[in-house]
Structure 1
Amino acid sequence: MLTMALLALLCASASASAIQARTSSYNGEYGGSGGQRFSHSGNQLDGPITALRIRVNTYFIVGLQVRYGKVWSDYVGSHLGDLEEIFLHPGESVIQVSGKYKSYLRKLVFVTDKGRYLSFGKDTGTSFNALPLHPNTVLRFISGRAGLFINAIGLHWDVYPSDCRSC
């Protein structure tokens, strides 16, 4: 009898886990195959994305850095182009990312839930458009590969952090 009860409890627990809502998704990698891998997965613990620093030259996205809460990620790429810095408004989130690439990223456009389009780079190459798979999710962190330029980018989506002490 105890064995049957334990088995029933185990089955109920397994089925409850199977129907829990999923919230995370991933798009990418968009770009070429070179460069060293990077990931901001640990940075998302500092809070939501609050600012972007993108460095561009005549042809490519050269470097990038993202602020999570009040903490800037490590800079990836090189320092050969012009630096552009944009801060998100309090509570604003990125809900879509599009761009263009060939061997390197050439253009990035971040779309926010406040209707802003934050555009960097040149409009040439193969297009991509990244959206989260699940409703009410936002861009939580990025990953990719970089060397002298940003070779490729990956986009990671999840719910907005509910506990944001450092924001």
Structure 2
Amino acid sequence: MYNMLSLMVLCLLGATSLSDAGYSYSPAVGRGEGTAYATEGEGRITAVRVWETYNGYITGFQLRYNYAWTPVYGREYGTENEMELFEGETIVQVWGKYHSGNYIYQIGFGTNRGRSLIVGQPTGYSFNFYPAYSRSELLKLSGRYNGNGLTSIAALWGQVNVTASYK
């Protein structure tokens, strides 16, 4: 199942290997049951929204690429948390906690300016995603969710060719 996501990423990149293009992939964690998702957008990630149940797990998330929000992956249930990035700020680390038979319980996003958004409960197994190459940033998140929340998450890293500025 996770190999299928890796294969999809490789197919999207064409004949170029991940390392030759400066891309790297952080393999999925979590049980991975439910509907598959892979974020997509034009340009750089400029904001993140995450929903969590009270004292519980991550129910959904959303990314903004330039000015356009992705669909919500999972569901908009519980407390909404948001971090808007400054111009030139990028996400360079994603970490958190998950239960092997359950959900993603905590997720954190760290930026190249030392800021972070941490949502959820610090319980379960830890994961820590970061790019393999300098000057890389988070490009996409993928994984699975069911009717209650996120069941798995993975990350694709690389460089974005940004020609337009944003606020």
Deviation at 1:165, TM superposition (A): 6.7
- Equivalent pairs: percent with the same residue? 31
What is the distance in 2 between the residues matched to 1:164 and 1:122?
A: 37
What is the distance in 2 between the residues matched to 1:65 and 1:100?
A: 18
Does the 8 Å CA contact 1:52/1:65 hold for their aligned counterparts?
A: yes
Matched with 1:78 is 75
What is the distance in 1 between the residues matched to 2:119 and 2:165?
A: 30
Deviation at 1:66, TM superposition (A): 0.4
Q: Which residue, out of 95, 100, 105, partners 1:98?
A: 95
Matched with 2:47 is 51
Unaligned 5+ segments in structure 1 are: 1-16
Does the 8 Å CA contact 1:22/1:134 hold for their aligned counterparts?
A: no
State the 4+ residue runs in structure 1 displaced beyond 2 angstroms: 160-167
Cα displacement string for residues 30-58 of structure 1 (whole angstroms, at most 9, x for unaligned residues): 11221100111x31xx1111001100012
Structure 1 vs Structure 2 CA RMSD: 1.9
What is the distance in 2 between the residues matched to 1:65 and 1:126?
A: 23
Deviation at 1:109, TM superposition (A): 1.0
> Considering only CA atoms, is the larger Rg found in Structure 1 or Structure 2?
1
Letter in 1 for 2:155: L
TM-score by length of 2: 0.81
- Residues 1:60 and 2:77 are matched in the alignment: no
